[in-house]
A = this chain, B = another copy of it.
């Protein structure tokens, strides 16, 4: 077995953002915490912490942390069976990778009550889908939300539904760039908004209109920034319908071509043996996500 005294010291230093606070929480002296970290590093032969303010885990440190979180989840399951072992209901943490648009829209309303009820704290990591799955494979996250179905070894995936995107722009942008109506060619010549190098929604939209090739675009890796830039007439872009209901109702944003949406599927990937809390969260999402996501049409 690993030495969990050492691993707990690592977890405390990262979670408390410093040696002093970690010592306080663990009821140890600061030098005792420091000794435990050094011993851990000596055993595994490489550093687990970057000594910055605050200290951050190295790659191997992050894997150890995730392991500690997984073990805590498993312990938690046992505690509900053997209540005498319960130390008073310490909140648990789950590290979860998800896409920015989910976090900006339906994620919190879907899981808020669950987290409060189960005293679950979340470490959220915003990643595009491929990186999210890589983090699953490396054991850095307990679960991830992404667009591809295929789970990594040891994990399961579950289709929660799809996010619906519509191509929108501000009335001023439309007046400036499409005085003679929105045509595919005019669209290809006006500046678009692109979330990042892995965002091909705008390409797909143009391709569906028969336009191939590059186009002028701003890069904006922020879900909320994307909306603000669309509202400010900086470009057109594909935006989650969920996020702009108010702007569509008020006419602040307008659909470029009516009723032409792109649905992006969202799969929930989770470890098969991730403990009861992860299983409960999975069941909860399966039940709730349909309130915000649309059913995925057969493609």
Contact = CB atoms under 8 A, between A and B. Distances in A.
Contacts of A233: 112-113, 116
Contacts of A109: 228, 231-232
Interface in A12-55: 15-17, 21-22, 24-25, 54
Identify the interface centre among A228, A231, A233: most chain B CB within 10 Å of its CB: A228
Contact of A224 (B116, B203, B214, B224): B224
A223 B217 CA distance: 23
28 contacts: A15-B214, A16-B213, A21-B214, A24-B213, A25-B213, A56-B197, A91-B191, A104-B222, A105-B224, A107-B228, A108-B228, A108-B229, A108-B231, A109-B231, A111-B234, A112-B232, A112-B233, A112-B234, A113-B232, A115-B218, A121-B216, A122-B218, A122-B219, A124-B219, A126-B225, A222-B222, A223-B224, A224-B224
Contacts of A124: 218-222, 225
Interface string A176-198: 10000000000000010000011
Interface in A222-248: 222-225, 228-229, 231-234
Given A54-B197, A109-B228, A122-B218, 8 more contacts: A15-B214, A16-B213, A17-B214, A25-B213, A116-B233, A124-B219, A125-B221, A126-B222
A114 to B, nearest CB: 10
A7 interface: no
A100 interface: yes
Counting contact residues on chain A (CB < 8 A from B), the size range is: 35 or more
A17 B202 CA distance: 12
